[in-house]
Structure 1
Amino acid sequence: MAGIASLFWHVLFPVACPICGRAGSTGCLGCIKGVLSPSGPVCIECLNCYPCDRHTLAFPHYFGAAHKGPARQLIHLLKYGHHGALGISMGRALAACLSFPLPDALVPIPLHNESPRFFNQSEKIAQGLSLELGVPVMNCLSWNVRIHPRALTKSYARSKLPEGAFKLDECKLKADIRTVMICDDVCTTGATILGAAETLAKGGLQVLGSASLTLAKGKK
C-alpha cells in the first residue's frame, strides 16, 4: 500500500533535475557543478581579491558562481520554488570550491523571523557541505526580534547591519567547537555575514571563513 501511495504521489508531483530534466533527481550533482564557476575567494570586507591589502584581518569568502544566469535561477528555485533538497545538492557541489582548513562546525545564516518559507535555504546548503566535508551544522544564530525589518532593509543599503542584529544561542554551543564557517545562499555586500561573524566572535568562536553559492557583489 505504501509503495502504491508513493507511486501515486510521484505521478502527481514528479521530481526532476531543473538542469537536465532527469526524473527522480531534485538536482544532479554533476549538473550543479557544471553551473558553478569558482574564481577563488574574496575579502569579506570589500569583496575584492583575497588576501586583501586593505583589510589584512578579514577572512576569506568562497562562492560557487556569480549571481546571474543559471546559478541565479537555481537560487530562485531553491528560495521560492520550495525545493529544499535542491539546497543540499547545491551545498555538496559548493564543497569543491573551498580550500581552507576545515572548521569545527558550519553555521548557517538564520531565516528572518517573519519569513514565510518552510525551510532555511542557507541551512540546506550547509547540510550539503556537511555531507561532503564531514563537518557538523550548528544552528546557533537567530535574528534579534527587537530589530525591526525596516531597520534591516535600511542597513543593507548602508552595507552594515545595526548592532545586535543577531543573537547567539549559547545552549546550542558545544565545548569542542572553537572554529566555524558561516554559510549563506547569496552574498551581496557581506553585511549579513559580517554581522553574524561579530556575534559569533563575541561568543568565543573563531570564524575561519564564509561561503555562499553565489556572489551578487552589491555596493559597499
Structure 2
Amino acid sequence: MIGTGHTVYVGARDERLGEKAAAELGGRPLPLDVTDDDSVSAAAERVRAEAGRLDVLVNNAGVIGLGNDAHDATAEQVRMTYETNVFGAIRVTHSFLPLLEASEAPVIVNVSSSLGSLGIAGDPEQFTSILPVYYSALAYNSSKAALNMVTAQYARTHPRMRINAVDPGHTATDLNGHTGPQTVAEGADIIVRMALMDTNGPTGGFFGNSGPVPW
C-alpha cells in the first residue's frame, strides 16, 4: 500500500511496536485495540480529523487463542478468541463505516483463513492445493468461519463497497511462531491486491493467492 499513493495508518494495541512498524513502512502509527470500544472510537476520530475519509479498511487483527481442543474447550475460552477475531472486526468496521462511506471507492478486506472454510473442513483431502495440511482448532477455525459470514453480510448491505475475505495462506508470523513456509510479503500479496481493486472488482467473496477459496 505504501508507494501506491495511500496514506497508511498502522493500527496496533502496543504503541511502541506500532510506532516501530509504522516507521519501517513509512506509515502513521495509530493506537488501536480492537477489543476496546473507546480505543476503536478514538482511532476512528483521529482518522476523521486528519483525513476526513477512509478508502481502505484492512481488518487484520487475529489470535490463535485458547479453546481449540474440541474436547476440552470452554465457552469462555472460545469467547475470548471471538472477541478479537470476530467482534473486533465488527467493532472496527462499525466505527469506520462513516469514513468509508465518504470515500468514492471504499474497500474492506477481512483477513480470514482457509481453516475457516466449511467446504475444506468437510473434505480436507479434496483441497490440498489450497491447504496442504488441515489443522483442527475449534475456537480459531470457527471464528474465521464466522468472519467469512460477517463479510458476506456487510457486502450484501453495502453494495457500493467492495468487501471481501482473504486467505493469506500459511505465513511465517508471530501468530504461528514463524512456522509458516510463506514470507510476510507472499502472504500479504492477496491482501494488497484486494485492497487496491477498483469499483468493478468482486465483492462478498473469499479469495486466496490462487483464486477463490470455498466457503
Is TM-score (shorter-chain normalized) higher than 0.5? no
Q: TM-score, normalised by structure 2?
A: 0.33
Of structures 1 and 2, the one scoring higher in RCO (CA 8 A, sep 6+) is 1
User: Which has the larger share of helix?
Assistant: 2
User: Which has the larger share of strand?
Assistant: 1
Rg larger in 1 or in 2? 1
